[in-house]
Structure 1
């Protein structure tokens, strides 16, 4: 249908359709004219096919003609109208077939009928007189071919249509392949961006975890500082007040009897010695914390150490409490006699302080490892009040004391157990506590009996795993004191693979590494049959619970990051792997 401003159709020609050959000519004419006017080849084939179906459907109708016209304008089209007179009916099948191919308009009255098909021609087309004249000549030149020629023509048209369809299918396949490739690129980019976002999220989570850990450490440091001032001020004030008060009494009372004067002077001396011992204890802890304490390895006379402890500590036992120090093992040992004496004195003094009845015992033995190294095992056992499980690690915090009625009348700074553990670690050993309320306490100290000194045999290769580059800079020269080569790993994720690749002589492992921490790295090494024999020393700046230390049982030692020296790390790596602590049987009376 024409719009209100469209130009009227231009008539091209009208041809009669009276016989079968005329339908062949109609088909060929329509195809040729459509091609001339710029229609696509497939569109020309569709037009010819539709007219062939319609022509056969109305063939035999009275005065059947086919009129061709050109509709110019912005949407040009070739119009072909079949018209006839009389009551001939167009079969529905032919009309349906034509409508599937092209827009088809059908009208029927008593006088006759007509059907029109439209084939669009593409871009805007003006009714050029030359083009119109050529179309008219083309229609006049076509005469009806034979059925064989028409069949061949249809076959050629069909082949051409199939070839074009195949080409379009190949083009569609190519476009689909390009689209799939684009989709794969988009998916890869999405996956990469998702991975980066996930990695960023993990980093943020790890940062928050690290901040939480730092906050916890700051709170613990603040609590430790508060305990320090509270305990030290109390412990210092008591002997100082005694000295000042007794001195004032002596000065104000010149006529005091000689025996009373001597008694007061002895009390002043006792208070001074108490004050001096407290200051010495604080200085010792400060030295241990600063890392200025170094073990001096020498032949160890363990019998003399035990005899000295028995003589100096027996007087601290309460009435009804026996101090039982067993004989030393018959073996030549190496060690630091001063540090060992300080460790055992602190442990025994603490046990005697909180044991009201029963006994306090010290046993010693030497264990041999399959690799030929020996371990000195010292066990301090008491029948005292015991320590609740949730306090097992807190008693190793400076100035911390378990609250309860057992504290009444028992003076102390809360430095004994932390100092003993710190000295044990300096010697490359471990200290383990086993206790329960009402069942006493057992502390097991394991020390290397013949450790390699820092200037002893060198190690060829060490692996250090720490995510803090600044701390690795500090640690590197310490490790080079006794190792020829140091391989640094900056995270726990690649630690296991790095150790498998280089097969080091020892591993120095940071505990807090982010997503894959030192606990997991140590577990992976322990589970690997080819790597479990490599000695591991764990470094940490955090306070550990009993459960934490249990997870680190495979490590040779757990050392604090503060005050590290090459000698301490070398000694810890040379220490035989500690076995699980066990509670000894009580010694017999008189042993």
Structure 2
């Protein structure tokens, strides 16, 4: 090997050593951590990262990285991104240290091989202070923006003209009143940067007669020269109409005391000037004007005694001006407004004497002279003498009875609409009940027929009819649930249950509904979750049945997965997050936003492939919200759907957790029981008695409550199945009478309600009446067996 080659090799080795030294140096400057891709455990952590997480390198190595991720969903998203791209740069997220303090970081990561296994090499930058600074800056900007908006809103609300100008008399600020009354700006026109001359010339170019301020003193110049606030009267024509303003102007200084412009307010005193001019010209002209004013104009002195009122008061209230002036005003107000009137007068006097009056609009209800009630609104404007002393009010009053009555009618219509909505919900619930009753006969007979000897063709027909009936029952149940939710008649129940048992039982129920040759159902529960929780197990099952059922219906091949994890605690409750994924047909992007609306389906045409009411997802959304959570859907047409929902539950103590019964511990079947059936509907009676006979029991049938009470006087039964809705004596009344009876074993015999009612409060009413349990119609054979087993522990009848 030549000396040149040796030299190049030596230089290459030196570069490699130099690079390693730089990498080592970088590792001392930034937190570095290496985690196993497969297990998530920490394989390496440098000193910088150890200090960040508050654990030593020895303690950290072998720990699961999940410990430092408060958001496990973001962690999974981060890992997927690294796997897909091979590297990730500046991934923003939050981590927690060993003391559970939250910090914001930017992660950069690569897939590497470390200790002969696939791993993720991560370098991160702590941006917590930056995030705090950004939030503080955002909050400060928001506060200043809110203050600016508030100032604009306040200035635009008052009727006075408000403005500010720079040293060249160009507008720096102009409120709505000056834009509308003087500058005559259109809604999209901004006056800032222009002076009064610009607007005067523009008005003339548009053909308007504009002379405002032409003969007035240059008040801006006076104020800038004197550097003191002053008052002026400025007037002239604006679009041919006379306008007079009482102007207060003051110099405007910056924080260093430098003059930077002027600020002013103007009050429209046009009416006052017209009145004064008319009075000077001719009392007759003033009277002529006053006599023809349609609204009522009246004036007061500084003690609020009425000094003048226009003749139009007679058209409004039936009183002549002279009668109205002498009236005790509070007596003419309806009782509800008398106290308010006293408060208003005190407020007006207080503001006026401070020379800080605000033009206000007041609404009162008065008595007309003939006794009927009228509504009026009154605007009040303070009047001052030339010396600035408060001299009374000029008030303008007009009748608003029609407007108020229209508002009242609108409120009444709103209430009626709400009542109609509630009536609709009750109607749906009642219709559901009426349908359930005959459905009991149909499905019951189908179940009984299914148990008889049948040919293969007959069995196929029966199975098809039973399946169709169950589908119809599912639709009815959806309508009932939707109506109960709309009527606000769903109450959540708290009970202790096992998440694993719920997921396993639901997965088992779909065993026969999924083609396992083409579709696999996978369930996963995060190991960090408690084994038992407290919440409404029934409603959670309903949500999962709906969502997994949808996934099964729309997935012909691929995978359906159910994952359960936690997103932390909120107010002593655990936020459970459920993720249901499928590889089904997916949902078009333009349909996703409407899927949770009631009665909405992806395909509503007559050619649609999948059936249903369109209520399932609406019920899911409302149940999730009732359980304190949220639901969202992500889908790609032809690729599948992911639905994520959350609910709030409490963690259960181990002492409160019921044991999950094994198959070996199941209660043996109960046979040879004497059962009293109280049912007035013949078909339902036939169904239930035949089912009982098939199960080895001895039913006795009566069709009303009175006959049941008579029969119980000389016969005893192991159990009573009681219909609720019956003529003469209903089920609840009969149950109460049985419990009060001293005959036989009436105080101890289990009474089970047979009902198509499932509205809020029904269960409580049944139990309060002395019943032990209830079973809903249509009666399912399996449910009947269960309820009889649950209520079989009673003493044997003595006879």
Q: Which has the higher strand share?
A: 2
Q: Which has the higher helix share?
A: 1
TM range (shorter): 0.3 to 0.5
Q: 1 or 2 for the larger relative contact order (CA 8 Å, sep ≥6)?
A: 1
> TM-score under structure 1 normalisation?
0.34
